[in-house]
C-alpha cells in the first residue's frame, strides 16, 4: 500500500498571504514594516520562528533570543486564532486526495508549521479527513530536514518508508526525503528560493492534476 506524505504550506495550501498578514501585525508592534509578500514567500518553510528571524534581518533589526521568543509566541497566538483568513487549497488538491485515497493510499502531512494551526487549517479547508497522521514542526524535538520528522509521520500513519513518496515544494522536503531514502515529487508553484526543477527531485508537477501520473511513474521506476 502506497504512503504519500505531503508538505503543507506552498504544497497543498497557499498560506503566504495569511502568514504575511500576521507577520505585518507583529512587526507593527515594533514600529516596523514587514517585507513585501513576494519576499516573504521565500522565507516560508522552516517554521514561524525562522520566518520572524528572516523578516527582522531583512529590516536590519537584531533582537535577543528572549525578544524573539516573545514575538514568536505572539505570532503563534495571532495565527492560531485565525489561520485561514485568505488561505486556500491549490487547484485540484481535493480531487487528487480523493483519487489517491480511492486507490488505497495512506496519506500524511509532515510540516514545519506548528501542530495546532496545521490541524486547524486542514479542518477549515475540509481536507483533514483524508490524512492518517499530521506531524507539525513543534510536535517533536526535530523537524525537517531531519529525516526523523518524516519517519515519525510514517510511523503514525502505520506505513513503511519502502512504500513512501514525499510531495513537497522546497529543498527542505527534498533533503528530508533523500535522507530517508524516499522518492520525492516537488510542485513547481510553492515557496522555494531555488526552482523545483533545478533541485533535481524524482518528478516535478505543475498542478495536482498531474499527481497520480507522477506517483505511478515514481512507483514504476523504483
What is the pairing mode between strands 13-14 and 88-89? antiparallel
> Which residue in the list 7, 18, 138, 173 is annotated as catalytic?
7
Tell me how far CA of residue 83 lies from CA of 46, 65, 125, 201, in angstroms.
17, 25, 10, 30
Confirm if 46 and 172 have CB atoms less than 8 A apart: yes
Whether 9 has a binding-site annotation, put simply, is yes
7: annotated active-site residue: yes
In sequence order, the 6+-apart residues with CB closer than 8 A to the CB of 150 are 5, 110, 144, 161, 164, 166, 176, 177, 180, 182
Whether 46 has a binding-site annotation, put simply, is no
Whether 169 has a binding-site annotation, put simply, is yes
- The packing angle between helices 147-157 and 171-180, to 10°, is 70
| Region of residue 47 (phi > 0: left; psi between -120 and 50: alpha; otherwise: beta) | left
Compute φ and ψ for 4, nearest 5 degrees. Answer: -115, 120
| Region of residue 178 (phi > 0: left; psi between -120 and 50: alpha; otherwise: beta) | alpha
Annotated binding-site residue numbers: 7, 9, 169
Catalytic machinery residues:
7
Annotated binding-site residue numbers for Mg(2+): 7, 9, 169
Amino acid at each position: 500500500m502506497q504512503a504519500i506524505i505531503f508538505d503543507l504550506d506552498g504544497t497543498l495550501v497557499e498560506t503566504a498571504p495569511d502568514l504575511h498578514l500576521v507577520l505585518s501585525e507583529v512587526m507593527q508592534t515594533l514600529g516596523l514594516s514587514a517585507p513585501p509578500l513576494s519576499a516573504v514567500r521565500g522565507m516560508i518553510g522552516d517554521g514561524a520562528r525562522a520566518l520572524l528571524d528572516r523578516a527582522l534581518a531583512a529590516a536590519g533589526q537584531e533582537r535577543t533570543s528572549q525578544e524573539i521568543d516573545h514575538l514568536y509566541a505572539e505570532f503563534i497566538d495571532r495565527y492560531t486564532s485565525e489561520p485561514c483568513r485568505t488561505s486556500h487549497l491549490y487547484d485540484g488538491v481535493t480531487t487528487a486526495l480523493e483519487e489517491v485515497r480511492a486507490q488505497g493510499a495512506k496519506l500524511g502531512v509532515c510540516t514545519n508549521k506548528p501542530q495546532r494551526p496545521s490541524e486547524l487549517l486542514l479542518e477549515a479547508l475540509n481536507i483533514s479527513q483524508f490524512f492518517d497522521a499530521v506531524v507539525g514542526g513543534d510536535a517533536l524535538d526535530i523537524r525537517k530536514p531531519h529525516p526523523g520528522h518524516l519517519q515519525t509521520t510514517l510511523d503514525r500513519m502505520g506505513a513503511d518508508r519502502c512504500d513512501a513518496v514525499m510531495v513537497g515544494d522546497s529543498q527542505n522536503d527534498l533533503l528530508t526525503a533523500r535522507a530517508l531514502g524516499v522518492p520525492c515529487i516537488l510542485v513547481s508553484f510553492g515557496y522555494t528560493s531555488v526552482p523545483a526543477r533545478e533541485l533535481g527531485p524524482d518528478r516535478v508537477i505543475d498542478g495536482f492534476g498531474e499527481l497520480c501520473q507522477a506517483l505511478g511513474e515514481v512507483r514504476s521506476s523504483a
